[in-house]
Structure formats: structure tokens, C-alpha cells
Amino acid sequence: MTGVAVHLDGLRRTFGAVHALDDLDLSIEPGELVALLGPSGCGKTTALRILAGLEEATAGRVLVDGRDVTRLPANKRDMGMVFQAYSLFPHLNTLQNVEFGLRLRRSSAKNRAAEMLELVGLSDLRDRYPHQLSGGQQQRVALARALAIEPQVLLLDEPLSALDAKVRVQLRDEIRRIQTEVGTTTLFVTHDQEEALAIADRVGVMRAGRLEQLATPSEVYLRPATAFVADFVGLSNRLPGTVTGDTVEVLGHRLPLVTPHADGAVTALIRPEAIEAVPDPDSTVKVLTSSFLGSLSRVTVSVDDHLVVAQVPSGRLPDLPPGTPVRITIQPVAVALE
């Protein structure tokens, strides 16, 4: 099965005076997994529900495989959907849930449903009822149910957010594996940046009903198009700087810019991993706090009344107890401005 292309074209959705979606354009390539990422209320779920046909757009078009489906009712759209939680029919067991969509189509259900259960690794639990399954298992069944009807597009609406951290990571990787295997074009909505970066071919960062940036995970992380993206994706230091020409000077370091900016005073957004803290007895800058986070650790120092967070390998943490004088260096990676 090969995926189809999806285009959201100038989508608008207003609730009274609130613009849930404000002229959203989004293209998903055949077989691609795009994650929509953003804070709650940014319109990402609205976009997914309009694509599913569960909500109507105030203006704009939805194209699937070149066909305009904007006015098509949800039950004719051929989209598999996985909800946040509790979407399994409680009166049906695992197998019956997966067969459900197939039975509606009167197609031979048994084999396809069994295949799908195998795909998500739940063949053994085919006779269990939803209340006998864990949250992670329920979501796998929901995924199998959505894929069983061989949908043109797979829609995942925060499918992992109701699960424990550990199960979340496992299931995330598994969703990616299955999606790659079946090749269905997929839209994945989440508010968790780590999840989005880990699972998607491309990540669309949304804010107030608009796309701020649509790019590969590494691009979004390393070259955030706007301050909002830099801030929302990963942790950033906000440090004062001065732009001259195509560079910005921050704490005595000259750094390249992501996008050109007029000369003058600015606030630069710099990732903790671009900042290094090295013990230096001559420095006046001192470590305020240091926190152990696993393989990497963070130290906070105060430079001219600005808090600067730097990431260091945990092996070096014992050398950096609070009070240690340190020297700060910034790697010359491109910087976004606020």
C-alpha cells in the first residue's frame, strides 16, 4: 500500500471571535508522518479534526490524493483515527473492536483483523475486553482498529498523552515502526516536543492557529525559524546581544544568525548544549546550582545578572559544585532572535 498526498489549503476555523485556525496551509507527502506540535489551544487538534471531517472548516479546502473532500462527511472519508483515550467500544472484545470497521464495510473481517492484531503484537489478547487491557494495550488496539480499514490517511490525536512515560516511549517507537511498514500518510498531533521530534519525518510547530515552521526535526531544533519555535522546542537561554551585519555578539562571542536582522540590541535564544562551562579560577562568574539529569547535567551560572543554563557531561559535574568560578564559551551555531 502506498500513501496519498494531503493538502490543507487556507483552513480557517473561528469560534465566535476566536480564531482556532487562521489560514493554515499544510502539505503532507505520500507516506510521510507529519507531527503537529504546539501548546494547547494552538489549533493543532482542530486541524486534525477538520481533516477527519469531525469538524467543519469556516473557510479553506482539504485535498486528499488530489480530491477535494472538504464537504465530504466523516464516515465517507476513509481515515483511520486514534484518539487520546477511551475510544474502544467497551462492549466488544479486542478482535471485535478491530473487526468493527471491516464489518461496516461487509468485507471479510477475520483474517485482516488477526493480521492487524499481530502487527501491534496483541494476538494473545484477542478475547479480552477493553477494561481488561492496560492503557498502552488499549491504544495498540485502537491503532490496529484504525489501520484495519486500510485508511488513506492515519490520524493520531495525542495518542500517547494518557500513558506512563515508559510506555509512551515504547509505543511511540512502535507507532513509527508500524507506520513505516504500512506506509500510510499520517498526521500526528502532540504537545510533547520530544515525542514530535522522535517520531516525525517533519514537524509542524503551531501557534495561535498558524504554522510557525514546518521542517525536519533536526532543522526545527537546530535552526528554529522564529523565537517561538526556539522557545517551545527545547530549552533556551535568553541572552542580550548586539547585531552587526550578519552576526550577533552575545557575552563576547560572535555568532551567525538564522535569519537576517537590522543592526541593534536584541535578545538571542541560545540552547544550553551550545554553552560550555569550564572551571577557571580567574573568572568572576560562579556556578549557582548544578543538577544531575542522567548522562547529561545542567549547571546554572549568573553572568551580569543574567541566568545562563549550560549543559555539561555528567562526568564533569563533580568539578562544578555551586560556587566554582567558571568561564563561559558559546559554540558558533546559528542563533534565533526574539
Partner 1 sequence: MAEIAADAPQRVARRPRLRGAALLGTVPFFAFVTIFLIIPTLAVVIGAFTGDGGRGFTLDNVRALGDEYIVAAFGRSITLSASSAIIGAVLGALLAYALVTGKPDGLLRRMVTAAAGVLAQFGGVTLAFAFLATIGLSGFVTVWLQEHGLDPYANGVWLFELPGLTLVYTYFQIPLMVIVFLPALDGIRPQWREAHVSLGGNTWQYWTRVAGPLLAPAFLGSTLLLFANAFSAYATAAALVSQGSPIVPLQIRGALTSEVVLGQANLGKAMALGMVVVVAVVMTAYSLLQRRTARWLG
189 HSE (CA, 13 A, CB side) = 24
Residue 258 and residue 223 in contact, taking contact as beta carbons nearer than 8 Å: yes
Rounded to a whole number of angstroms, the minimum distance from the CB of residue 170 to partner 1 is 23
Cell of 325: 568560578
**Part in contact with partner 1 (CB under 8 A); list of ranges 68-76, 186-194, 249-257, 311-319:** 68-76
- CA 281 from centroid of its chain's CA atoms: 42
When binding is defined by CB under 8 A, the residue of 81, 196, 257, 336 that contacts partner 1 is 81
Is residue 91 at the binding interface for partner 1, with CB under 8 A as the rule?
yes
Beta bridge mates, 220: none
What span, in angstroms and rounded, lies between the C-alpha atoms of 263 and 271? 22
What span, in angstroms and rounded, lies between the C-alpha atoms of 142 and 95? 11
When binding is defined by CB under 8 A, the residue of 5, 63, 72, 74 that contacts partner 1 is 74
What span, in angstroms and rounded, lies between the C-alpha atoms of 44 and 36? 6
What size, in residues, is the chain? Answer: 338
Number of residues that bind partner 1 (CB under 8 A): 31
x/- binding map, residues 114-143, to partner 1, per CB under 8 A?
-----------------x----------x-
Q: Which is nearer to partner 1, 35 or 109 (CB)?
A: 109
**Part in contact with partner 1 (CB under 8 A); list of ranges 87-95, 179-187, 189-197, 264-272:** 87-95
Is residue 13 at the binding interface for partner 1, with CB under 8 A as the rule?
no
Rounded to a whole number of angstroms, the minimum distance from the CB of residue 178 to partner 1 is 18
Is residue 166 at the binding interface for partner 1, with CB under 8 A as the rule?
no
Q: Which is nearer to partner 1, 152 or 236 (CB)?
A: 152
Q: Give me Rg for the CA atoms of the chain.
A: 24
What span, in angstroms and rounded, lies between the C-alpha atoms of 205 and 191? 10
What span, in angstroms and rounded, lies between the C-alpha atoms of 142 and 122? 11
Rounded to a whole number of angstroms, the minimum distance from the CB of residue 186 to partner 1 is 14
Burial group, residue 63, by CB count within 10 angstroms (0-12, 13-18, 19+): middle
Is residue 35 at the binding interface for partner 1, with CB under 8 A as the rule?
no
When binding is defined by CB under 8 A, the residue of 2, 17, 66, 76 that contacts partner 1 is 76
Q: Which is nearer to partner 1, 100 or 221 (CB)?
A: 100
Q: Determine the 3-state secondary structure of 269 from DSSP.
A: strand
Per CB under 8 A, residues contacting partner 1 are 52-54, 73-81, 83-91, 100-101, 104-105, 131, 142, 145-146, 149, 155
